[in-house]
Amino acid sequence: MNTYLQHLEFWEASLTQPLVFAPVLAQIFRPITDPVAIFLIILAIMLVAPLLFERLRMPGIIGLILAGVIVGPYGLGLLERDKTIELLGTVGLLFLMFLGGLETSLDDLKRNANKALTFGLATFAIPMVVGTAVMLPLGYSFLASVLVASCFASHTLLALPVLSKLGIMRNQVVTATLGGTLITNVLALLVLAIVVKANQGNLTISFWLFLIPSLAIYTFATLWGVPNLGRWFFRRFGHDEGAEFLFVLAALFIVSYIANLIEIEPIVGAFLAGVAITQIIPQMSPLMNRIQFIGNTLFVPFFLISVGMLVNPLILVKDARGILVAVVMIAAEIASKFLAAWGTAKIFNWKIPSTMVMFGLSVAQAASTLAAITVAFDIKLVDEVTVNGIIGMILVSCVMSPWITERWGRKIQQEPAHTATSNSEQLENAVTVNNLANRVLVPVANPNTEDNLLNLAIILTKHGNGTLLPLHVIISDKNGFVAVAAKTQQKRLLEVAETLAHAAVTSVEPIGRIDDSIDLGILRAAQERDASLVICGWKGYSTYRENFFGSVIDNIVRRSTVPVLITRFSQPIENTQRVFLALSDRKISANALRQTLGLTKILSEALKSPVQVMQVFLEPTKPSYDLQSVFVNSEFPIQQVQGNPTRKISASLKTNDLLILVESTHHFGQPALGREPEAIARSHPKTSMMIVHFPDLF
């Protein structure tokens, strides 16, 4: 099976025959060859076309595709679809599938596995049956009919940017569609490989012995190997933002290329790469923002424009049989895709908007369809009329898909979310976690640790649409003198924090302060800037001197009037594989408990990690609070155990956990955080920890 890039060479050879189907206007204008002018035209299209069509209340994606038709070789002929356009279009296609994988949570896929499997099989089987049935009466052979039907079965997630813009990517219907897309595309490409081998007479047992094991090994290696390699890389080079971004790009193209080596289309590899790497990139992190920005702003529009440049509208009216074939193909593809979405929605009792969003997402044809029909033409299984009909189907489906998806996606956006996490979303509505993240103060002093603190703060502030307050305190001497080097370092640290916040599109107010001591500077800044939360770093232990005279952390915790998060990150926050909330039998106010549970949920969603809740009882007595009553019917497992809290918690911890504790000990001669966090920190030096402290007024 040839790769997508190789398949598209056919279009350069067959669709650029001199003056055969070219529109008259294309003969008047000469193609632009100046690279600066070419890039300027493409950038102008990327800027103007979406804005114009959105003003007309149509998805901007349609504008990009139609603009490609207009400036392409079958429109005005301003641009040729040369190797550079092909390359950037292919990169855009891979990025489109990669972004779809990034928005797909493995936990969501597991929770919606039955829905994804049902839709994936339906949207493959129904088009295969319908397509084969309608192509046979038109005089096509059985193998040709099956191959054309496989073009109907596959689809390209052209309208994903629309859903991302609407903010419904985590909806269960979208998750099921993403999972179903992976299933139907893989099956359709397998059909393509089988038909090609059968037509060549090479459908032997060796083909099956190679394909099935290699596909299984490849999928496992991608979903297991990429996350583990990424965690190691981020742990070693996590402070280099450029290296992080390049690692993500390398993972995307390496996985896509390996897919091609085992005769699977690279688009499937790109999607799997996104699913694998999303586990180690927090949803609201600067790195995720950079990936989505570059993909959605540059590469994906290149792909959409390149698809438009392939389309020759006049080719459909040159032959009466061509019109008939095109109409039959369009009708069969639309009807079969709608039946698959409608049937799946009926099984799971989804409403009409969900049905139409699933249909809108799955009706678009582009990448896999072009690949399959090009292979069929190369081996002379289908003729040029069939290719022309496929072009018409691509044009109609690419225009329909974003329009349907946006129209009905807005109605889903207005509905109450109905997902597997609906109960925890009710909890989020019941608590005021957003108030906690309204203005988050983060002292920055150590360049080696501030990234994790700032990333944590950015996750919270973005969730609550709040403001980040990075703070650096300089201690003056008894004469009030401050060294120039200290001021320079302060400026540099705050600039780094501000850059990180801007990269994540987060509101930021850097604070440079000169004070008598670090703790007083933090406390005064929190009051003066009306902070709602303070996040501090912690080394994980206290010295004897600090126990009796108080450390900076102790003084902040004891005197703060707002909640404080004390964190010890042993590794990058994106390496978190589980959020572990441990609660002892100490008395905790209902408000503090709800705030902690809400905070846990936010981190779980942002880090795409499951939650484990443990409640430890010292004695077999009635607990001071009923955790089940606060977290009724939660999807988060709650484990209740009796015994020593330190031992029970330590026994359940794993290296890549993020442990969350709630402490409020204020005994003389003890650290303000209590003995348990220190004991756990010493026994698990590689486990990240977070201690939540609420002042008495909470």
pLDDT digits 0-9 by tens, 350-372: 889 889 999 998 898 876 676 66
Residue 15 has pLDDT above 70, yes or no: no
Q: How many other C-beta atoms lie within 10 A of the C-beta of residue 319?
A: 14
If residue 582 lies in a helix (H) or strand (E), which one and from where to where? strand 578-583
Q: Ranked by mean pLDDT, which of 191-195, 246-250, 461-465, 553-557 comes out on top?
A: 246-250
Helix (H, G, I), strand (E, B) or coil at 620: coil
DSSP code for 380: T
Specify the long-range contacts of residues 477-484, CB closer than 8 Å, at least 24 apart.
Answer: 482/514
Contact 297, 513 (CB under 8 A): no
- Rounded Cα gap, residues 579 and 642, in angstroms: 21
Task: Please give the share of the chain, as a percent, with pLDDT higher than 90.
Answer: 12
Burial 490-519 (b: 16+ CB within 10 A, else e): beebbebbbebbebbebebebbebebeebb
Phi, psi of 684 (to 5 degrees): -130, 70
Indicate whether 158 pLDDT > 90. Answer: no
The confidence score (pLDDT) of residue 339 equals 94
- Kindly report which listed range (80-84, 126-130, 179-183, 622-626) carries the lowest average pLDDT score: 622-626
Element housing 349 (H / E): none
What is the phi/psi pair of residue 465, to 5°?
50, 40
Asked which of 188-197, 221-230, 315-324, 334-343 is least confident by mean pLDDT, the reply is 315-324
pTM of the model: 0.68
Angle at 99 between CA 95 and CA 105, to 5 degrees: 150
pLDDT value at position 134? Answer: 92
Please determine, for residue 257, whether its predicted confidence score (pLDDT) is greater than 50: yes
Closest to 185 (Cα-Cα) out of 348, 6, 362? 362
pLDDT bin (cut points 50, 70, 90) of residue 112 is confident
The tokens describing 267, both together, are: 């688009």
Task: Report the distance separating Cα 282 and Cα 460, nearest Å.
Answer: 12
Higher pLDDT, 66 or 132: 132
Confidence band of 334 (pLDDT split at 50, 70, 90) = very high
- Distance CA(534)–CA(432), nearest Å, equals 16
pLDDT for res 426: 43
Interval 671-688 mean pLDDT: 81
Phi–psi pair at 38, nearest 5 degrees: -60, -50
Residue 202 is given by DSSP the state -
pLDDT band at 100 (very low <50, low <70, confident <90, very high): confident
- Gap between the terminal Cα atoms of the chain: 64
Is residue 446 within 8 A of residue 537, CB to CB? The reply is: yes
Question: Is the pLDDT higher at 643 or at 352?
Answer: 352
User: How much is the mean pLDDT over the chain?
Assistant: 79
Compute the average pLDDT of residues 274-283: 83
pLDDT band at residue 590 using 50, 70 and 90 as cut-offs = confident
* pLDDT, greater one: 334 or 643: 334
The yes-or-no verdict on residue 632 having pLDDT over 50 is no
> Helix, strand, coil proportions of the chain in percent (round to 5)?
65, 10, 30
Residues 209-225 have a mean pLDDT of: 86
Backbone angles phi, psi at 247, to 5 degrees: -60, -40
Check residues 689 and 201 and name the one with the higher pLDDT: 689
Q: Residue 60 — left, alpha, or beta (φ > 0 → left; ψ -120 to 50 → alpha)?
A: alpha
Q: Which helix (H) or strand (E) holds 624?
A: none
Predicted pLDDT of residue 335: 94
Query: Is residue 264 very low, low, confident or very high in pLDDT (cuts 50, 70, 90)?
Result: confident
**Has residue 425 got a pLDDT over 50?**
no
pLDDT at position 347 over 70: yes
**What's the whole-number mean pLDDT along residues 426-442?**
65
Structural Rg of the chain based on CA atoms = 29
Contacts of residue 218, defined as CB under 8 A and 6 or more positions apart, other chains included, come to 258, 259, 262, 264, 269
pLDDT for position 608: 79
